[in-house]
């Protein structure tokens, strides 16, 4: 099976072996050593000295944790969205009573830094900007450096609230200070509560120990390769994927100057064989899975049925991409 979706992703052998380790007590010295080592590794990889909190949830949980620990009901915030997960972030904020002004960009485009800055400047006493960095639903990444620069040229901003990909968290000085005054209801996602346990190298509730084992192994691989080298690897793999797809006649979706380094989106191949209305997303991905063992993701929201997404994150090589594209070409030709 060739799993090429934007999460969950294939794991390298070292990580698979780590996941299979026996459980330990989360209140033991053995666990505290694991917690401390993994937290230190995450700090090194993300080049931060700030605390790293571990809690078990999907990426959506990190969105909620970010909101409830930095904002209070009635606070004004700017929400920037250009995809399904940006929309979800807005829904989370609205569920907690945030007075949200939403700036929406078309799917397939990145947020325009100047327009974001203009929108922010118009909101009196704006406490935060909520934005996704890597929008996997459209395979487009926002230029956060450019957005930050444009905003700070106009005004000071209290904080950016940026959910990382899955298994992530929000860790910033501004966020830590805001957590002390934020009044959104919270229990499981309370950073202040997490901090008390984190200082003892523990978590308030039972952690996903197997996931920490996996993260420990993954960090060793990435830190051995080097942080910059790891980012360069996936940047190069993204360019390679897009190039191979175009060379084989596929049409990429979205503004490629802001292409994600983790997933690529392409339009569903057009085909009009006799007696049919055209090649559908279900035709294409269904054939790939059934005949070639290749699993791709479809579009979400308004792009459902219109695009196909192929991921190049996790344990993946150029050879894996070559095999995937070869299967895609065969399936397309067979369905024409």
Annotated binding site for substrate: 309
* Selection from 32, 55, 52 nearest residue 44 by Cα: 52
Q: Could you write out the DSSP letters of every residue in 131-196?
A: E-SEETTTTEE--HHHHHHHHHTT---S-EE---STT-----HHHHHHHHH--S--STT-HHHHHH
Q: How far is CA 263 from CA 50, 181, 229, in A?
A: 29, 37, 19
* Selection from 334, 333, 332 nearest residue 281 by Cα: 332
* Selection from 222, 219, 238 nearest residue 230 by Cα: 222
Name the pairing type of β-strands 126-131 and 160-161: parallel
Please give the Cα distance from 268 to 307 (Å, whole number): 5
HEC secondary structure over 47-81 = CCCCCCCCCCCCHHHHHHHHHHCCCCCCCEEEEEE
Please give the Cα distance from 293 to 48 (Å, whole number): 40
Please give the Cα distance from 214 to 174 (Å, whole number): 30
Please give the Cα distance from 94 to 244 (Å, whole number): 41
Annotated binding-site residue numbers:
309
Neighbours of 298 (CB within 10 A): 17
Q: How far is CA 40 from CA 18, 43, 46, in A?
A: 18, 5, 10
């Amino acid at each position: 099976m060739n799993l090429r979706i934007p999460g969950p992703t294939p794991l390298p052998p070292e990580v698979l072996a780590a996941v299979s380790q026996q459980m330990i007590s989360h209140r033991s010295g053995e666990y505290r050593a694991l917690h401390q080592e993994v937290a230190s590794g995450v700090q090194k990889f993300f080049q931060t000295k700030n605390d790293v909190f571990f809690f078990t949830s999907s990426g959506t949980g990190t969105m909620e944790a970010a909101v409830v620990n930095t904002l209070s009901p009635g606070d004004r915030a700017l929400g920037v969205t250009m995809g399904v997960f940006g929309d979800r972030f807005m829904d989370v904020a609205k569920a907690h009573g945030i007075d949200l002004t939403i700036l929406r960009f078309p799917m397939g485009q990145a947020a325009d830094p100047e327009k974001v800055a203009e929108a922010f400047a118009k909101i009196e006493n704006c406490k935060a900007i909520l934005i996704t960095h890597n929008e996997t639903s459209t395979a487009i990444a926002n230029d956060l450096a450019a957005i930050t620069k444009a905003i700070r040229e106009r005004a000071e901003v209290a904080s950016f609230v940026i959910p990382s990909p899955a298994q992530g968290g929000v860790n910033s000085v501004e966020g830590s200070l805001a957590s002390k005054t934020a009044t959104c209801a919270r229990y499981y996602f309370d950073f202040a509560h997490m901090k008390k346990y984190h200082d003892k190298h523990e978590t308030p509730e039972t952690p996903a120990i197997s996931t920490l084992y996996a993260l420990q192994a993954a960090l060793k691989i990435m830190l051995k390769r080097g942080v910059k080298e790891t980012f360069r690897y996936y940047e190069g793999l993204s360019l390679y994927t897009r190039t191979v797809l175009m060379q084989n006649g596929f049409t990429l979706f979205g503004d490629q100057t802001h292409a994600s380094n983790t997933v690529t989106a392409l339009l569903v191949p057009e085909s009009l064989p006799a007696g049919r209305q055209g090649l559908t997303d279900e035709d294409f991905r269904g054939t790939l899975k059934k005949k070639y063992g290749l699993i791709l993701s479809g579009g979400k929201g308004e792009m459902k049925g219109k695009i196909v997404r192929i991921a190049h994150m996790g344990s993946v090589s150029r050879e894996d991409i070559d095999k995937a594209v070869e299967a895609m070409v065969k399936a397309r030709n067979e369905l024409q």
